[in-house]
């Protein structure tokens, strides 16, 4: 029999439901795989007992003939940005180290209600700020992939690098991620897995540690389009506790999956052929167009003229919202408190935040506070919001000419850890293809396309209309079937 850790969400769910194996057997196999993969540093905290308890509950339901749920018997990794009752939730920061919430995030509760179990809390860039998973207080996450001919530790992408590494390494069949400017799609592309950011508001933000509230959105990361569709159905849904939650029924994305794209038009944005993009990335994009033509779609040229302004606008809006959201971490109510002898309240605030926040978080707080200050608010923040509106208008116009948009996910493949640590601008440019869809709140997905000459994965990105996750998933399925990407990293951990 195939090793249980080689199975994805659908295969595990159906195998448990059909009695091929028990949910406990699955949980035990993945718990063992997590323990063996400590060198990846993908998990901050492991919760084997949670995975086993959830598995036993599913097995008991099956014995009684009860419904097992959309994720029945599937153990997953939970990005450590989601509050989990009684389990440490840190956002990979020192300032929240040791914090154990008394409540459960809506997304994680939805998954437990659907029959999933938790293998542990996954590492990430601190407060989801980063593109390489090098800003975590708990150390870097290493990609399971290696560049051919070297033994250098490679970036799994960020901020959901622990999630992408765990899924690619087969130590979790799926994981939650969050995407603010590409933090599901970019790590998915770097590690050869699938990841979808749904329309803003599809998944509740309640109980998710906030970075930029008008951009943050939870989504699934898994090894196939089908698995992402299944998990997204379990995660999504209206939540009255979240004022930005969409009061809409969750579609049957899994049941309606179809790789037949006859009658569909695929938009190719001319502005995405940017200087500095790897030739192999552009070649994979051309191949993606051919795959979608083979699926019956018509490929059309479109324009997104404000693309070049999207990244600078994002790095004004996101830090501005971060500076506001992170003001709550002050050492008074929870988390770290640094109280020097004889210090007053302001001194405690300063000492706690200086000790508790990493350099990248401090950088973004400073940027955000600056652009929100009285003398610069109109010059920077107001202008960035105007650009955001123009980016959204570009997409609205483009979708009068096409059904979905195809683009690269990232301008390059993964890079060695440490290569861009001292160059924030180069790091920010990793998000150049993913940020525009985030600013517009659109559903967008990365699907693996091929390996480059260095043996590293490259991903293709599909962007859809608001609420059209089905169109995105269907185009992703068409690419998946034709790319036939089944490469795995060679185990070194």
Q: How confident is the model at residue 341 (pLDDT cuts 50, 70, 90)?
A: confident
User: Taking 90 as the threshold, does the pLDDT of residue 357 lie above it?
Assistant: yes
Predicted model pTM: 0.96
Q: Which residue has the higher pLDDT, 335 or 182?
A: 182
Return the structure tokens found at 243.
């004022």
Q: How confident is the model at residue 429 (pLDDT cuts 50, 70, 90)?
A: confident
User: Taking 60 as the threshold, does the pLDDT of residue 1 lie above it?
Assistant: no
Q: How confident is the model at residue 423 (pLDDT cuts 50, 70, 90)?
A: confident
What is the structure's pLDDT at 422?
A: 81
To the nearest whole number, what is the mean pLDDT of the chain?
A: 96
Residue among 408, 194, 197 nearest 289 (CA): 408
Q: What percent of the chain has pLDDT over 70?
A: 100
User: Taking 90 as the threshold, does the pLDDT of residue 335 lie above it?
Assistant: no
User: Taking 80 as the threshold, does the pLDDT of residue 272 lie above it?
Assistant: yes
What is the structure's pLDDT at 275?
A: 85
What is the structure's pLDDT at 163?
A: 98
* 30-73 per-position pLDDT tens digit: 999 999 999 999 999 999 999 999 999 999 999 999 999 999 99
Looking at residues 112-138, what average pLDDT do you find?
97
* 229-252 per-position pLDDT tens digit: 999 999 999 999 999 999 999 999
* 473-485 per-position pLDDT tens digit: 999 999 999 999 9
What is the structure's pLDDT at 343?
A: 79
Looking at residues 212-218, what average pLDDT do you find?
97
Give me the active site residues, please.
79, 159, 183
């Amino acid at each position: 029999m195939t090793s249980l850790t080689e199975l994805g969400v659908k295969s595990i769910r159906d195998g448990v439901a059909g009695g091929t194996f028990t949910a406990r057997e699955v949980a035990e196999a993945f718990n063992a795989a997590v323990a063996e993969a400590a060198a990846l540093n993908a998990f901050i905290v492991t919760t084997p007992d949670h995975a086993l308890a959830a598995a036993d509950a599913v097995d008991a339901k099956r014995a009684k003939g009860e419904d097992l749920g959309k994720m029945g018997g599937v153990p997953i990794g939970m990005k450590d940005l989601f509050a989990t009752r009684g389990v440490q939730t840190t956002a990979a920061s020192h300032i929240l180290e040791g914090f154990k919430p008394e409540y459960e995030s809506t997304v994680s509760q939805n998954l437990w209600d659907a029959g999933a179990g938790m293998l542990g809390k996954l590492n990430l860039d601190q407060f989801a700020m980063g593109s390489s998973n090098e800003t975590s207080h708990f150390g870097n996450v290493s990609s399971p992939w290696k560049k051919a001919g070297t033994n250098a530790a490679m970036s799994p992408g960020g901020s959901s690098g622990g999630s992408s590494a765990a899924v690619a390494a087969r130590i979790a069949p799926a994981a939650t991620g969050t995407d603010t400017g590409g933090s599901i799609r970019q790590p998915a592309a770097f590690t050869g897995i699938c990841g979808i950011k749904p329309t803003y508001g599809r998944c509740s933000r309640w109980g998710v540690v906030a970075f930029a509230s008008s951009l943050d959105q939870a989504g699934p990361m898994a090894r196939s389009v089908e698995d992402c569709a299944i998990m997204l159905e379990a995660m999504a849904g209206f939540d009255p506790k979240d004022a930005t939650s969409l009061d809409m029924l969750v579609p049957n994305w899994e049941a309606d999956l179809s790789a037949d794209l006859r009658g569909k038009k695929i938009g190719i944005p001319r502005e995405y052929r940017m200087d500095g993009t790897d030739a192999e990335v552009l070649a994979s994009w051309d191949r993606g167009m051919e795959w979608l033509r083979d699926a019956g779609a018509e490929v059309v040229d479109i324009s997104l003229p404000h693309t070049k302004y999207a990244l600078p606008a994002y790095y004004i809006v996101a830090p501005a919202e971060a500076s506001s959201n992170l003001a709550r971490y002050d050492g008074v109510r929870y988390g770290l408190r640094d109280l020097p002898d004889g210090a007053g309240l302001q001194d405690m605030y300063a000492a706690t935040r200086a000790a508790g926040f990493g350099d990248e978080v401090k950088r973004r707080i400073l940027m955000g506070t600056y652009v929100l200050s009285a003398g610069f608010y109109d010059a920077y923040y107001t202008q960035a919001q105007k650009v955001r509106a123009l980016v959204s208008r570009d997409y609205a116009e483009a979708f009068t000419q096409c059904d979905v948009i195809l683009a690269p996910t990232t301008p390059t493949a993964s890079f060695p850890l440490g290569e861009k640590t001292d160059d924030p601008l180069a790091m920010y440019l990793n998000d150049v293809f993913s940020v525009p869809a985030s600013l517009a709140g659109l559903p967008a997905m990365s699907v693996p396309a091929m390996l480059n000459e260095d043996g590293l994965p490259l991903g293709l990105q599909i962007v859809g209309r608001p609420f059209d996750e089905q169109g995105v998933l269907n185009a992703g399925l068409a690419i998946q079937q034709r790319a036939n990407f089944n490469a795995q990293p060679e185990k070194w951990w």
